[in-house]
């Protein structure tokens, strides 16, 4: 039996499944419509782009990535390793990201991360392989597997946007922990990746929403004496 891939056709199928198993998702789909599937490059380029985007704005990440692409041609690990630290810093990479990029490229060149065999691994084993590299944490690995490889059943429990959206969707008093989010997401199998796309889509449509301030934090209006 062929492995499920979250392509455009299966995204529609997944939305029907989610609406059937979860009335809250059925309501969201009526309110905000279907999400758009996301894609990213497979291999070193996709993971390196994720590293570039860590802890910077989307605009800054795009600018740095375009300069890095122009400097490292083709975007392959062996070519990346030929760059000096000064060249990599010149395109906007921080010192930490230079180290992360070198770690990732070295792990690929030396065979510890093998993209040819990655598709044969289950999600947990694939995440374990990817997170060998410094700078590739569970969230980065999960996002990569979802968007580059179309893995259909991943729920990045550490993603703040998903946590906030799930809190609002389920009308929870507090933000769910990653463990609670994963427990809630059990009913969304085997399409948890599609559920994550829908939650991100829903989050972008939400008004600013958060816990109400405590009474002691609300300052009374200052009387000026003017009528």
Residue 2's pLDDT is 54
Mean pLDDT value across residues 74-85: 97
Domains detected in the chain: 8-38+153-205 (1.10.1670.40), 44-147 (1.10.340.30)
Amino acid 105: pLDDT: 97
More confident residue, 3 or 38: 38
Residue 35 φ/ψ, nearest 5 degrees: -75, 165
Average confidence score pLDDT of the chain = 90
* Higher-confidence position of 211 and 155: 155
pLDDT of residue 118 exceeding 80, the answer is yes
**C-alpha to C-alpha distances, 161 to 93, 155, 174, 175, 199, nearest whole angstrom:** 25, 12, 14, 11, 8
| pTM of the entire predicted model | 0.85
Compute the CA torsion angle 23, 29, 30, 31 (nearest 10 deg): 110
The percent of residues in the chain predicted with pLDDT above 70, rounded, is: 90
């Amino acid at each position: 039996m062929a492995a499920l891939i979250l392509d455009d056709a299966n995204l529609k199928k997944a939305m029907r499944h989610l609406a059937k198993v979860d009335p809250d998702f059925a309501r969201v789909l009526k309110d905000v419509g279907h999400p758009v599937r996301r894609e990213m490059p497979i291999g070193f380029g996709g993971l390196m782009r994720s590293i570039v985007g860590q802890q910077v704005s989307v605009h800054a990440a795009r600018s740095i990535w375009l300069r890095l692409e122009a400097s490292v041609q083709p975007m392959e690990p062996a070519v990346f390793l030929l760059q000096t630290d000064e060249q990599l810093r010149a395109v906007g990479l921080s010192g930490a990201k230079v180290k992360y990029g070198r770690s990732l490229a070295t792990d690929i060149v030396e065979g510890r991360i093998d993209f040819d065999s990655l598709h044969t691994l289950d999600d947990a084993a694939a995440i374990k392989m990817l997170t060998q590299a410094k700078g590739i944490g569970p969230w980065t690995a999960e996002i990569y597997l979802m968007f580059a490889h179309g893995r259909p059943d991943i729920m990045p429990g550490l993603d703040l946007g998903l946590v906030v959206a799930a809190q609002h969707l389920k009308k929870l008093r507090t933000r769910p922990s990653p463990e609670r989010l994963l427990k809630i997401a059990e009913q969304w199998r085997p399409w948890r990746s599609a559920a994550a796309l829908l939650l991100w889509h829903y989050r972008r449509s939400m008004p600013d929403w958060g816990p109400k301030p405590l009474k002691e934090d609300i300052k009374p209006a200052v009387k000026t004496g003017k009528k």
